[in-house]
Amino acid sequence: MIYLDHSATSPILPCVKTAMLEALDKYFGNASALHTQGHLAKEQIELARARVAKLINADPKEIIFTSGGSESNNTVINTFRNKTIAFSAIEHPSIIEPAKKYAKTFVEIPVDNSGIVSLQNLPKTDLCSIMLANNELGTIEPVEKIVSLKRSTFYHSDLTQAVGKLPIDVKKLNLDYATFSAHKIGGPTGIGVLYVKQGAPLTPLILGGHQEHKLRAGTYNTAAIIGLGVAAQYAIDQNAPKLYKKQILPLRNQLAALILDNIPHSSLNTPLEHSLPNILNASFQAAEGESIQLYLDLKKNICVSTGSACASGDAKPSHVLMATTNDAEVAHSSIRFSLGLDTTESDILAVIDVLPEIVANLQSISTIKIKEK
């Protein structure tokens, strides 16, 4: 199998798996209990909290554990219910949907054809949410610059795709809130992080318990939290952002060049000069993205995506690509390749060995007329 869908989820790291299996045996106690077994579990949770905080240069007291990035995002939006909220047109649905539902007034900030937020269109709001890097295109947003303009009272950034790929310092970014998930950095699914700057308001989304200083009720998912902590420490110890830049960026760029050179009527949606080192989004005229994905999977055991895994099964074109291209055909013909630290040059060459023929065969039976440039 060739796995190029790390932006959807990354395989669990061996060190994370080992730590979680150990946790199931040694730290099974309820971390809220007063007995020794409870204290042992609580100690491991606080160790994980410190590791996660170090990964993004936060104080451990500013870290809240949740069930994932979507819950973390919803919690931030819920805090500003009946307030004015701004968000970029390419935010994750877990920002866009609750903001549209709960905000007194919401503003969708447009982006250019690279996915970069327009600084001229930043409104005055109670909350502004701009992801640091987009999950479909890999576009890196000028979050530090946006916050420095002080158009909103509070700022949030979804760090889910950026963590482990870029050096992140929430203090330098001057964020009030930040969110991400464990399973994008080799941790387990079902566990996420909510960073809340000291002094920033927060309204709990889940009530009914004293956990996380009464800001997120529910029995601790101890094994998953430990796994997250180990994944965070691995990213720190390995200097993961440096590895991605040194090892993976050249492979991503090689794949981009090979696609353009070997597949007629292909184009890139990812802005290579200001994007994450591991994401490449490309479109293939008159070839449906889902069909390309299925052929690669079923015929060649190559795993890619047509965009956000959270939107899988939705017949609508990607809202991200519609925001950047306003072209449904481009959106429907797109494929996202997302590389990981285990990706090799042989993986890239294997994709290019089969992809041109797959695209050509689909184009030959398509009813869509190819537009000559």
Residues annotated as catalytic are 310
Cβ atoms of 255 and 348 closer than 8 Å: yes
Return the number of other C-beta atoms located less than 10 Å from residue 344's C-beta. Answer: 12
CA–CA distance, 38 with 43 (Å, rounded to integer): 9
Return the number of other C-beta atoms located less than 10 Å from residue 267's C-beta. Answer: 17
Please name the residue that has the structure tokens 């979680």: 20
CA–CA distance, 195 with 132 (Å, rounded to integer): 14
What the block records as the tokens of 212 is 């996380």
The single-letter DSSP state of residue 369 is P
Cβ atoms of 185 and 11 closer than 8 Å: no
Question: What is the maximum span of the chain, computed from C-alpha positions, in angstroms?
Answer: 72
- Please classify residue 145 by burial: count the beta carbons closer than 10 Å to its beta carbon, then call 0-12 exposed, 13-18 middle and 19+ buried: exposed
How many Cα atoms occupy the beta-carbon half-sphere of 6 within 13 Å?
29
CA–CA distance, 125 with 85 (Å, rounded to integer): 6
Please name the residue that has the structure tokens 């503003």: 107
Please name the residue that has the structure tokens 């997250």: 228
Which strands, in side-by-side order, build the sheet including 63-66?
63-66, 192-196, 177-181, 152-158, 125-129, 84-88, 105-109
Cβ atoms of 227 and 188 closer than 8 Å: yes
Kindly list the distances between the CA atom of residue 249 and the CA atoms of 48, 119, 165, 231, in Å, as whole numbers in the listed order.
29, 27, 10, 21
Cβ atoms of 165 and 240 closer than 8 Å: yes
Cβ atoms of 256 and 272 closer than 8 Å: yes
